[in-house]
A and B are shown apart, each in its own frame.
Chain A
């Protein structure tokens, strides 16, 4: 599962760089890595789900961050709230898309939900299932003092199948060269 999480993390980083058209970002680990911890005011959630794995990718941000990131990506002074939200939703979407491609290449069939923006507070409703097969990963993507919290919660449904997934090292290096992301 570590490879899977690594893949997700790398995907989020690479997509973030692409989104933001920047080269350098910092990746860090938050102090509290518990599940359903309220990270920020807003959350975009996207579900990548199949018979073998159910994965939720969340990005946590507040309005200010979203506005900053979107404006920066679009090289504008400021952007509207709707645009900023769309930006964040698209980010989650491309991350999830990349994850899906990875799984599909590994012959793990998954599908994608729509990215949904909700309040960070709703985290308290998102109690992870107590199946014992849930794994959670949290990281922070930072540009200077702007931090985007990311969470990945994966419920392994087919342990053998998921354990067989390898995230080749060479892939890690080439992720950064993915093409431009287009907005919806």
Chain B
């Protein structure tokens, strides 16, 4: 029994030893906790402390028994601690949590650290020590420092960072900068919609407004709810900030970020940026850009304008500006409109597009107001201020360019000077005619000015000589050939386009000649020729044509080689090639890709030189001929119209329109110059409309009009009559007081009566004649009208064309019929007219027509297309008519 008891005791002792050990470990664990663990009594005396608290005290923890916890706090802080501590004593409180700083260490070494305290009663134990309380303390110094740093960062970030809580109120914790942006320190607790969005709500687009309205619904919902509206939420809003002076409009950029917890949106983070200065800068930049664009345009236009033209224009426009101001002063708005028209015209002539545009807009608006009877011309005055400012800017810029320009202002030729003076005179007349509303005279003078201007820009043809000679030298050197060049050139001026053509073509031909034609020195000597080859370049003027000839004394063109080549290239069959004449064979060398050179090099070419030459000459409506003699040489002769027909207006003139111009002009002259006009002849002849007049005949008549305009100053009592016979004879009788100097030969007398270019070139050369007597000059010429030249035109409309468009077309075609006296008929059946007719089908969509091909079988020879642009289509019709009616 005692043995059993001993064993039991032993067992109990073992258990006790284990429990002791376990307890010891628990104690070590508590001692080494990284937070303060202490038990104090109600007097603040420490009953137990762990290592963490001992470190704060800087004492051995075993010595902390009955130390007062207050020692690690500053006095005021300890009072707060006590206050907080005492709350535990209040009913219902089981613990308190608060943040308080402690003083680590003693004296000079002490540093403040932030701690977060948790105090709670230590169970229901009561000993002689009194009630015990557990105090836990977490060192949050580093956390607070990080928070402070973040807070400093947030404070220095110029962003308003706000959170919106589920109550739709702005949280009291926001970045400091928010107060600056919103101009208020009372941001927390405000309803976010009212505070942030209401002042600029009406500026938002409708979908943005709706998205804002729906923003309240996202709280407590999944992120999908936010995703559904986020694209429509405004990225930028207007906010009206109250200031001392009133209100200030701000542009705020907003970024929305939902804060999600457990899959549900708990709060909304708004990051707001003040973009006002950026928006304003962008607006300024736009203005500057517009301004810069305008300045650039101004510079480009001024630089493009000839300096001499500007010198002429400036005083003219200055006068017009004065006139305009005068008209405004006197409320003479019609006059003002005339001046604007004049400024527009002047500006256009020189190329000052902006100035012309401004004037045009101002003129249009003014005329509208006048016609509408609107008595308010404020906008016109304002527009004129803009025009005046623009003009002043132009003058300043131009002056600057002139001062900095190295363009010589001296040394212009006498001819050029004369031209400029003439242009100045014409300008004055032109302006006067605009102001007085003489539209015909204005048109005529405008054309004269254009012609004069073109002449200023024309280039002396002889200036091409150095370029050509240099090319000969270079090419000869490369091919080791000796070449002597002869160059002769007409003493004329041509425009730049023609100059470029002549230059390009001649250079090609030179290459060709030296490369293909002229033999090497050895070969030449073998053939008994001189060592030096000869190239002759000649440019002559003959009857409105330029004749360019490049010839050499080389080997000539090998016709057989051409024959072989074209057969080899399958251009023709062999038997056909054998029958071709030399002329026809020679033409093949202008075919693309045709080259008889055994080797391709940059001199002899790949056969692309001559076809390019042919193409360029063709563009200018010129011709190329080749003369060749085997062993002797070859010559390329190119004829190009001098007055580039491409630039000549090709117009259809009806007698009616020309007569109308003449009548108008005569009526003006009658009114202004007290001329006696005998209309009886005129009246009688007006009815004799003979159809269409050919262009060059029309030129004669236009020149005549010009002449009449010109002579009105020299002669008085001009009477013009218009005669005609059935065959088509026009006679113009001009009675005048001017005395001819010598009777007799009409041609010699013409120069006193009519400008030479009119008489010689047009009238006499085209079968006209001039008879003159003391008081009358009669010009008459005939033309043959062959109605067969003018086929009947049948037209129809594609089904896509609407009824209103058809009506517009019919009306237009009737006008043409009336104006040009051409037989035109509408074919309801869109299968074209009779075989002799010229058929036009009006088709709406270019793509759907597939061109002529589609309608060829239906009998339409021409197809007029338009893509919803009736105006352009009408222009196209006139082009088609030109082709149909064969203008010479």
Chain A interface (Cβ < 8 Å from any Cβ of B): 32, 34-38, 40-41, 62-64, 111, 113-114, 116-121, 123-125, 127
Contacts and interface: CB of A to CB of B under 8 A. Distances in A.
B876 to A, nearest CB: 111
Nearest to A113: B16
B132 A62 contact: no
Given A118-B23, A125-B125, A127-B127, A38 B65 contact: yes
B20 A124 contact: no
Contact of B127 (A62, A119, A123): A123
A41 B62 contact: yes
B492 interface: no
A97 to B, nearest CB: 15
Interface in B48-100: 48, 61-63, 65-66
28 contacts: A34-B128, A36-B127, A36-B129, A37-B128, A38-B47, A38-B48, A38-B66, A38-B129, A41-B61, A41-B65, A63-B62, A64-B62, A111-B9, A113-B13, A114-B13, A114-B16, A116-B16, A118-B23, A119-B27, A119-B48, A120-B65, A121-B47, A121-B48, A123-B127, A123-B129, A124-B125, A125-B125, A127-B125
Interface in B104-148: 125-129, 132
A124 B129 CA distance: 7
Contacts of B132: 124
B17 interface: yes
Interface string B1-42: 000000001000100110010011001000000000001000
A110 to B, nearest CB: 13
A118 B20 contact: yes
A35 B16 CA distance: 24
A147 to B, nearest CB: 13
Given A116-B16, A124-B129, A125-B125, A62 B62 contact: yes
Contacts of B13: 113-114
A160 B333 CA distance: 142
Contacts of A124: 47, 125, 127, 129, 132
A11 to B, nearest CB: 22
B39 A121 contact: yes
Contacts of A119: 27, 48
Given A37-B127, A41-B62, A127-B126, 20 more contacts: A32-B128, A34-B128, A35-B127, A36-B127, A36-B128, A36-B129, A37-B129, A41-B61, A62-B62, A113-B16, A114-B16, A116-B16, A117-B24, A118-B20, A121-B39, A123-B127, A123-B129, A124-B127, A125-B125, A127-B127
A115 to B, nearest CB: 9
Interface string B259-290: 00000000000000000000000000000000
Nearest to A65: B62
Give 4 closest A-B pairs by Cβ, nearest first: A34-B128, A124-B127, A41-B62, A121-B48
A127 to B, nearest CB: 7
A32 B17 CA distance: 31
Given A41-B65, A64-B62, A119-B48, A35 B128 contact: yes
A136 B23 CA distance: 26
A116 B18 CA distance: 11
Contacts of B63: 62
Contacts of B27: 119
A34 B129 CA distance: 9
B39 A116 contact: no
Nearest to A34: B128
A37 B17 CA distance: 25
Contacts of A35: 127-128
Contacts of B61: 41
Contacts of A62: 62-63
A113 B19 CA distance: 14
Interface in B345-371: none
Nearest to A42: B62
A38 B64 CA distance: 12
Contacts of A118: 20, 23
B200 to A, nearest CB: 66
B3 to A, nearest CB: 16
A118 B192 CA distance: 61
Contacts of A64: 62
B67 to A, nearest CB: 12
Given A41-B65, A64-B62, A124-B47, A116 B20 contact: yes
A38 B17 CA distance: 23
A61 B63 CA distance: 11
A179 to B, nearest CB: 24
Nearest to B64: A41
A113 B62 CA distance: 27
B42 to A, nearest CB: 13
Contacts of A34: 128
B243 to A, nearest CB: 66
Contacts of B62: 41, 62-64
Contacts of A125: 125
Contacts of A40: 65
Contacts of B23: 118
Contacts of B127: 35-37, 123-124, 127
Contacts of A117: 20, 24
Contacts of B128: 32, 34-37
A118 B23 CA distance: 8
Contacts of B9: 111
A166 B62 CA distance: 40
Pick the most buried of A119, A125, A127: most chain B CB atoms within 10 A of its CB.
A119
A37 to B, nearest CB: 5
Contacts of A32: 128
Contacts of A113: 13, 16
A34 B130 CA distance: 12
Contacts of A120: 65
Nearest to A124: B127
A35 B129 CA distance: 10
Nearest to B20: A116
A63 B27 CA distance: 14
A124 B132 CA distance: 9
Contacts of A37: 127-129
A114 B39 contact: no
A119 B65 CA distance: 12
Contacts of B47: 38, 121, 124
A36, A118, A124, A127, most chain B CB atoms within 10 A: A124
B827 to A, nearest CB: 122
